[in-house]
Structure 1
Amino acid sequence: MTTVFIKGLGLIGSSLVRAIRAQHPTFKIIGNDIDEKACSYALEHKIIDQAATDLDEAAAADFIILATPVSTIINDLQQLAKLPLKKKVIISDVGSTKQEVLKAAIPLQKKGITFIGGHPMAGSHKTGVTAGRIDLFENAFYFLVETESNNPACLQLQNLLQRTRVKWLLISSKEHDQLVGQISHLPHVIASSLVNQTQHFFEDSPLGMRMAAGGFKSITRIASSDPVMWSAILQSNSKIIVHQIEQYIRELENIKRAIENNDQTRIFSFFESAKNSRDQLGPEKVGQLPDFFDLFINIPDQVGAIADITHLLALNQINLVNIHILEIREDIDGVLQLTFMREEDRVQAEKKLSQNNYVVLRRD
């Protein structure tokens, strides 16, 4: 019997396990998590077959997946190198940075153990084992680091995770860390710093933060991410992120000088360049990157309006992952932001809402 050991039963880990269970129902799945309640929930809902008390129980596994913060992954790789693992075991992780993780895996590789660095580019505003979903990774990129497509171990790992329905992408660890640093890590730093700066700015004005809705909430949504996880990410990718922060500061300084000098040509160019680049983003341009898909609609300011919309979506089995009322309105009616995990859900929702005379303002 094939045995899979997974450490970390949060959103990512439990979603992977659900996909493995669906594709390989006869595989034995052993789970471990620092939160005993997560293990209990996973056992109760048959997400895992057995709960492990420590990493030593991974010694009997054919596959080992580490789905914890990067700092923990590094420590676990060092511990696994000391265990009597199966010779043909395949070890992988889902960490957000890869160069430090690959360094930590060297002692294992010197012993002939296969390690393939991995990183699924997907997530949710929800966390924990209860938030896991079998379709969380569908159509998202899943990075496999420092491996080749014809590597037998790589093919076995892809087969194990086939039900995730991801788009596999092979990449070097350096390129990976630079890429995610710019499109993921730096935006999290910017969003969090903007929220902190705004909080300080409105210290003497309680009304200020209450009014910080609409666009402000949209661009700072990722600031709600787990601080423990992001502390570990920045620590493991520090050099790259510091360099990218310095470049971003220079960009801010450039627009600051343009504003000070009333240089309307440079100011216009600043916004025009950003708009043109932003408009090029999307599945039809660069391949589908994991994202949330938003739909903004007008709703009448009356009792039951939101309930009518959610009921309509539920009747048509359209999965809605988040809903938000924009509190600062540019339109006569209210503006409702509906968030979907998949593009096809948004398309279907727009079709059904339009058929029921709801006005779509825009889609992001």
Structure 2
Amino acid sequence: MNQGKVTVIGIGLIGGSLALCIKERTEYTVCGCDVSERSLELARASGVIDEGTTDLAEAVKDADYLFLAVPVGLISRLMAQLREMPLKPGCIISDVGSTKGEIVRHGRELSRVGVTFIGGHPMAGSHRSGVEAADPLLFENAYYILTPTPETSLVDMQRLSRLLQVATRAQLVIMDPDHHDRVVGAISHLPHVIAAGLVNQVGRYNEENEWFHRLAAGGFRDLTRIAASHPVMWRDILMSNRHTVLSLMDDWLKEMQRFRQAIEAGDAQEVEALFDRARRLREQLPDRKKGILLRPYECYVNVPDRPGMIGEVATLLGKNGINLSNIGVMENREEEVGVLRLSFRTEEDLTQAVAVLKQANYIVIE
């Protein structure tokens, strides 16, 4: 039985993989939209989509879900176009961009035309590109971040979460848009800037003496591998997240200043301490091999379906000093009560959270 229509705008690696997941694991009809007729032909021929078109208005007509899988620099412009189109009432729109704050602020404007925008960021990728590389396993066990606002309906969050959980088999994480941008800025955007800067610096040295490149072996190449990323894509990402990245760069310069001062002063003990701290912190990073997930401590909480409930629960725990790992929205049971899945890093945090929530008269299931 056909459940409705899902449209994916942008049929590249991410968009194609998302379309393929939905087509293979749900009963929705999947429509692809792209400026490239060749990409659409490949997608149809390989079974990635059911139908395809280069006409945006035709693609979004009667769609229950729209996924914007276009470059970050184009998402805001695309949403402006969508605001002028007769979208299906109740349609949920999401994106796959790696920045969220600016995009979510533009997305709020879509509520004026009777649809819901919920920012999304599947943290998965491949060294390959294009619809030819579409893979139904691309998102499996990866983190898929959703960034609702306090006004986002819990029912809409449940609808989108249910679709993504079934289709992608990813681990959904709910996060504030600006917090997302700071976290991803620190672990992805800033490292790309540093890698590019280091390659450019060594490149200038190599102009005077070619041995800099000749001797640039494994360590240098591993450290700077991400500097080979697509320049236009990273231009758009940094422009979209520029305020956060600038703040992170200031912190990076302070970190480099600590090293500089210790080296300049000949303080061998401090230099060793800086490297030792980095080594210990590096060893604490979780092993994120595909298919392996650390089992979190979890509980389930019944909440009324009203705007802001996700924020209320998170704020309550934060005020009590409880470290919440993530919040997941369980399937809608078609009642007035929804279910949140709360995950914690430690058993102590879980125990404290259960006590605080019960004291606040929430129904908690352990």
| TM beyond 0.5 | yes
1:252 aligns with 2:253: no
Alignment of 1:53-72 (within 5 A): 53-57=54-58, 58-72=60-74
Q: Which of 161, 169, 173 is equivalent to 2:177?
A: 173
Instruction: Tell me by how many angstroms 1:150 deviates.
Output: 8.4
1:213/1:54 CA distance change after superposition, 3 Å: farther
2:167 aligned with 1:163: yes
**Preserved contact between residue 70 and residue 236 of structure 1 (Cα < 8 Å):** yes
Residue from 151, 156, 181 that aligns with 2:154? 151
- 1:31 matched to 2:35? The reply is no
Partner of 2:244: 240
SS in 2 for 1:202: helix
CA contact (8 A) 1:142 1:168 kept: yes
Paired position in structure 1 for 2:76: 74
Displacement after TM superposition at 1:213 (Å): 2.2
* 1:47-96 residue CA offsets vs partner (Å, 9 max, x unmatched): 11222213212122111000111121111111111111100211100111
Partner of 1:306: none
Task: Please give the root-mean-square deviation of Cα atoms over the aligned residues, in Å.
Answer: 2.0
| Worse-superposed segment, 206-215 or 235-244 | 206-215
Partner residue in 2 for 1:6: 8
Equivalence map 1:41-52=2 (5 Å) = 41-52=42-53
Inter-partner Cα distance in structure 1 for 2:125 and 2:47: 22
Structure 2 partner of 1:295: none
Q: 2:112 aligns with which of 88, 110, 113?
A: 110
Question: Percent of aligned positions with the same letter in both sequences?
Answer: 42
CA distance in 2, matches of 1:192, 1:131: 26
What secondary structure does 2:208 align onto? Answer: coil
d(CA) in 2 for partners of 1:98, 1:111:
21
**Residues 8, 67 of structure 2: 8 Å contact kept:** yes
Distance 1:56 1:277 in 2: 50
Structure 1 residue 172 displacement after superposition? 0.7
- How far apart, CA to CA, are the structure 2 residues paired with 1:230 and 1:288? 29
Contact 2:8 2:15 survives alignment (8 Å): yes
SS at 2:7 equivalent = strand
In the TM superposition, residue 101 of structure 1 has moved relative to its aligned partner by: 0.7
Change (3 A) 1:147 1:100: closer
Distance 1:37 1:208, change over 3 A: farther
Tell me the TM-score normalised to structure 2 length: 0.74
Q: Counterpart in 1 of 2:269?
A: 265
Letter matched to residue 146 of structure 1: P
Q: Residue 130 of structure 2 aligns with which residue?
A: 128
Secondary structure of residue in 2 paired with 1:65? strand
Distance change (3 Å), C-alpha of 1:213 and 1:93: same
Rounded to whole Å, the distance in 2 between the matches of 1:279 and 1:153 is 39
Q: Which runs of 5+ in 1 are unaligned?
A: 290-364
Change (3 A) 1:132 1:210: farther
1:214 Cα shift?
0.8
The SS at the match of 2:94 is strand
SS at match of 1:169: strand
Alignment counterpart, residue 234 of structure 2, candidates 227, 230, 251: 230
Task: Tell me: CA distance 1:184–1:278, structure 2 relative to 1, closer, same or farther (3 Å).
Answer: same
3-state SS of 2:119 partner: strand
Alignment partner of 1:218 is 2:222: yes
1:147 offset after TM fit, Å?
5.3
Q: Distance in 2 between matches of 1:139 and 1:194?
A: 33
Alpha-carbon distance between aligned partners in 2 of 1:228 and 1:9, rounded to the nearest angstrom: 18
CA distance in 1, matches of 2:70, 2:76: 10
Q: Is the 8 A contact 2:148 2:176 kept in 1?
A: yes
The amino acid that maps onto 1:16 is L
Contact 2:43 2:131 in 1 (8 A): yes
CA distance in 1, matches of 2:202, 2:36: 34
Q: Deviations over 1:323-350 (max 9, x none)?
A: xxxxxxxxxxxxxxxxxxxxxxxxxxxx
User: Offset at 1:158?
Assistant: 2.3
Correspondence list, 1:325-340, <5 A: none
Amino acid at match of 1:266: E
CA shift, 1:21, in A, is 1.4
TM-score (norm 1): 0.74
- Equivalent position amino acid for 1:234 in 2: L
8 Å contact from structure 1 (residues 125, 225) kept in 2: no
Partner Cα separation in structure 2 for residue 49 and residue 248 of structure 1: 47
* Amino acid corresponding to residue 61 of structure 2 in structure 1: A
